[in-house]
Chain A
Amino acid sequence: MIREGVMTKTVRVAVLSSALALLSVPPAALALDDEPVEALQAVQEVPEDRLLDVGVHVFDSGIPEDEYTRFVLEEKGVFEEIRKSEARWIPMNLKRTLESTGYWGAVRMVPSATSVDVIVEGAIVSSTGKKLEIDVVVFDATGRSWLSKRYKQEADPLGYEEDATDEPFQSLYNRIANDLLKKRSDLDPEDFAEIRRVSELKFANDLAPAAFSSYLAVKKGKYSPARLPADGDPMMARVSEIRERDHMFVDTLNEYYADLYAKMEVPYRGWRSASYEEQMALDELNRAAKWRKILGAAAIFGGIMASREGREWSNVGEVAVLGGMVAIMDGLDKSAQTQMHREALKELAGSFDSEVQELLFDVEGEVLRLKGSVETQYASWRQILRDLFAAETGIAIDPNTVVSPPPQ
């Protein structure tokens, strides 16, 4: 019984002294979640027949249509124009990363209807200067799924240093590139040929469905070539000519996106860097405030319990209660400071949002204009190919027939 009492007192003393000691020491900043990852590079030139072209779509910005939700997000510092520009920035970084590995053919940002060997789609879940979280889905022209995964990454603080050249979230792009490479290495040699063939036939089918719809077989959402055009098929030769133009158009489109990338790089880096600082300070304060409130409560509880033990503990108990109250007050004060940082973050985002809006408006205007001109050309080509098919086969085609392009 006596032994038990001594033990209880010893534990209480330990708890009290630890609590008092911890109250004066803030917790260390949390370590980064992810270690830096390098993108795997091809050590030798990849044979032409193993090069798959990659089309990266503009990402879903993650901003809902609903006005109220948009307002709520703005209150949290998530702004529409910033997200829209990031929906172009992030795929552009991914494109560049994939290109740099040397394992792929042409890597382009493409409009959603374009037929490409491998297609990358994505959506932004969360994006601050400190953390990036995106969903990525990858599939090929045959409909085979390659990847469907959420990627999270904390910014590399070195990326925000004044003379830094690296993207703070480069490791995230490198991880995606490495995952895609892994999937690519699982393909058989005939898979490469089939993906390229299907991609070409899908393009042909979209332009001249009357001539090419029978070349593609679809089973449970998977495409395969049902038959192949003869060597020197004049219709296929015409389609190839048009496909070359399609690549030219997409390349030009990519230059507009590169233009946006270049123009927003400096302000975006500045915003993200400031946002990173604010977010770090905010997280630190949040942790410290929470920590102090918990320990303050523990100290008060311990102090009260100690005072009950008798006179020799009452002084210690009073000190603990007092210390605990001070800690809680300090925690509340820190909560007020976090609110200031939140406001600062929102202000920074609001200011960058206005800045990037103009850039986005300018480039998207050009992109829309170009897409409009090209759409007119495509309509004309579709008509000519339909007439050519009719002239060559004698099979008249109802011009009012609406043929929807096959789903990607």
Chain B
Amino acid sequence: MRNPLLAVGVLVAGGGLVGCSAPTVAPPAASGAPLAGSWLAQVVEHPETFAALTGGPDRPGWIALHGNDLAGAADAFAVAGLNAGPNARVGRARALLDLSQLYLDLARSGDQAWLTTFATWSERSTIPAGSALTYVAGLAARDQGDAEVSSAWFKLSETARDPAVAQASAALVQTSPGAPVTGDELPALLVRHNAHVAARDSGVIDGLLAEAALPLVQEDELRSDGTTLHREFYDPEILRTLSVAYWKQAQEVMGGGHPLQALITLPDGADPMAALLFGPVLHAEEWSSEVSRHTETPGMLGASSAALAALGLDTELPPTDEPDWARDQVHRLDAVLDAWETQVRASASPDGLALLDDLRLVDVLRSRLLLALARNAIGSHHPWQAKTFAQLALDAENSRAITPVNHPALQAILIEAQLQTGHTREALDCIQPMLAAYPAATGLDEVLGDLAILQGLDRYGDSKEN
């Protein structure tokens, strides 16, 4: 029997598909035993069960999820609408939770980027008089819950050239965080702000998503040399709004309860593998213990999974942020994966091996585990280790593309880690591959560009050949 998903690898990876290379010799201590019974082992040892899950009408959703096309997966699983089967609901919820987590990763970078940029700008240069920049800075501070800084920026906006900016600033100072601004004939800025409040409440984001890559404010400024400078400032609220809204959507898909809890109990008739396939959690039991630690938001889901411990990896970080520690962890993981792969290649059926190679399943699992470790490190304020994990997770041959191995959140974690280690220009390299699929990151790209420029103002730019 040939599995209906066998062609998926070719489909998603195009001509660049590379089968797994022959494993190198693993250290004697490494054993593939922790992977026994995992989703990976089940797929290879029982390809028919994989076919049963992914070969039906939900197939486009699974193809998209495998390719890390998160929005595509969420849409594809939703095609059946209210009549979707339990597996499609699980798949859609997983895609939505992944999106929520991705935007939360990006929002954390946004928090740092916006305020660092505006603070550096005011320290190193002169904030353009009358610009709406101060309003956007106030909005950024408010979105991360810093009322004092937010009020200070909004205060500066009272002298904005555009009266609507001054009006919006004054209104937001008077309004509690998370509440809409009330009143008639609100200026467009406040209508937009209220749209964020509504989206975070309802999960409905269509209008915001359509404008996510567009500037929030555009203004023309007459310069002293007689030229006009066109300025654009992007919406600092969009990333967190999308994170919250996708969480709400996942909640709705799973029947209104807690979406993560619902993934443990599973809807009636759902295949347990639907909750695990292509993910960082190896076994259903680990999934439940994992979820119990993360009940409010997706946050660091997967980062401290029991799976990591079972694989011989340390879930407690050392006190210092040494990249070599992270490299050693990756070597340990590779040894386990190599040992398992050597073993399975001697015993698996041709169909199982074809799935293993065509879908690059070992690389997919490795990447998702390293993403979890990277999240753990960044959440523990160890950006060098986070950077190391994320960089080693990426498929170097296609590092500019989102692929089955290159989850978009790897780039999001790298953005944050680069920013925290002073490598702002490198953070821009990490955003670039995301912009086509995640245009809401455009504002982050622009503001980080401003920050990179500000940080280099006093430098002599060096260049060399080759």
A binds B: no
Query: Which B residues fall within an 8 A CB radius of A?
Result: none
Query: Which A residues fall within an 8 A CB radius of B?
Result: none
